[in-house]
Amino acid sequence: MMTKILFMKINGDITLTYKSKKDAQIVFDSLEVDNENYLTSKLNNNTITYSIKNTNLGSFLATVDDLIASEITVEKILNNVKK
């Protein structure tokens, strides 16, 4: 009997658009250190695009969850500093 080994490739992009290029740069710089080796990110004016690739669904979802939670934290800090 031959056993088939299947490999799953999961890819996803998250694009975040900010009110200003400065805000996008702050978020990009704040999250870039944590994101190394887990995803790729590109900053273009006031938009950041994150690309996540993984072969394990649990790891993929954990990466997305961590990214979103971290972005929310940075965004709250930005909003509080502007007040």
- Identify the CATH number of the domain in which residue 64 sits: 3.30.310.50
Residue range of the domain that includes 67: 12-82
Torsion 64-67-72-75 (CA) sign: negative
Q: What is the mean pLDDT of residues 57-70?
A: 93
Q: Is residue 66 part of a domain?
A: yes
Q: What is the mean pLDDT of residues 15-31?
A: 94
Looking at this protein, which amino acid is placed at residue 4?
K
Q: Is residue 27 part of a domain?
A: yes
pLDDT, tens digit, 9 for 90 and up, residues 31-54:
987 777 789 999 999 999 999 999
Q: What is the mean pLDDT of residues 45-71?
A: 94
Residue 1 in this model has a pLDDT that exceeds 80:
no
The total number of structural domains in the chain stands at 1
On average, the pLDDT of the chain sits at 90
Can you tell me whether residue 70 is helix, strand or coil?
helix
The H or E element containing residue 71 is helix 57-82
